[in-house]
Amino acid sequence: MDTPHRPRLLDLFCGQGGAGWGYHLAGFDVTGVDIRPMPLHPPQMTFVHGDAIEYLKAHGHEYDAVHASPPCRAYTSARHSAPRRYRHPDLVGPVRRALRATGRPYVIENVPGAPLEDPVLLCGAMFGLLTYRHRLLEASWDLAARVPVHPVHEARTARMGRPAGEGEFHSFVGNFSGLQTAREVMQMPWASQDGIRQAVPPAYTRLAGAALLEFLSASGWETRCA
């Protein structure tokens, strides 16, 4: 019996593969690209060591869709407390231009405060995760209809780096403690502390991936690949 063909998704600035894993679970064949070596990238996905934008320009047309998570240092609220540490070029604009040049559907992910266009806001509490970890997703198609209701934040967040107490949500930032707990909460059992700190929870991109599959099907992707 032939194995059903899975659409190909390019995951730029992939880190240790949190976003890519969500798309994999949704049904995509994922290739991640990062400028840093990523030995902890999940083996079920392909990893390319290289410059994300240059790879996109050279190979983006070979994929059915693209996800990009450009570094958030230029936009994170932490930059106000340590501006020198958080200096970083604004990559959202150049990434968006390169994505649009491919003609492929895309998602750009970043932190609140990033200059995304008509983004949706995702929160861990929407998915039953014990961490809020708000992230914005800009999609080139209508993703808003698939976003769950944003629940009221009834639980407070543990202080930076400290384990969550009774009734608290976790905050996996800085030099946090409890790596095994972080892996369980984020649903990334392979990740290191550095990978968790920067990760997009796979639950977020699994939702986006399901919506993207519907968009590709409605756009005739299955017919083109038949």
**How many whole angstroms separate alpha carbon 4 and alpha carbon 25?**
15
Quote the DSSP letter at residue 109.
Answer: E
Cα torsion for 217, 210, 200, 83, to the nearest 10°?
Answer: 50
- Element of type H or E holding 46: strand 46-49
User: Does residue 90 lie within any of the structural domains?
Assistant: yes
CATH code (residue 181): 3.40.50.150
Report residue 73's pLDDT band, with 50, 70 and 90 as the boundaries.
low
User: Does residue 84 lie within any of the structural domains?
Assistant: yes
Residue 70 or 223, more confident: 70
User: Does residue 180 lie within any of the structural domains?
Assistant: yes
User: Does residue 3 lie within any of the structural domains?
Assistant: no
User: Does residue 1 lie within any of the structural domains?
Assistant: no
User: Does residue 2 lie within any of the structural domains?
Assistant: no
**Domain membership of residue 96 as a residue range:** 8-225
**Mean confidence (pLDDT) of the chain:** 90
User: Does residue 18 lie within any of the structural domains?
Assistant: yes
3-state secondary structure of 54: helix
Residue with tokens 């047309």: 61
**How many whole angstroms separate alpha carbon 28 and alpha carbon 153?**
32
pLDDT one-digit tens code per residue, 160-206: 878 898 999 999 998 888 999 999 999 999 999 999 999 999 999 99
**How many whole angstroms separate alpha carbon 205 and alpha carbon 226?**
26
Q: pTM of the full predicted structure?
A: 0.90
Quote the DSSP letter at residue 50.
Answer: S
User: Does residue 209 lie within any of the structural domains?
Assistant: yes
pLDDT of 226: 47
Domain count of the fold of the chain: 1
pLDDT one-digit tens code per residue, 83-135: 555 556 789 999 999 999 999 999 999 999 999 999 999 999 999 999 999 99
| Radius of gyration in angstroms for the set of CA atoms belonging to the chain, rounded to a whole number | 17
- Residue 219: CB partners within 8 Å, gap ≥ 6? 105
- Pairing between β-strand 106-110 and β-strand 8-12 as defined by DSSP bridges: unpaired
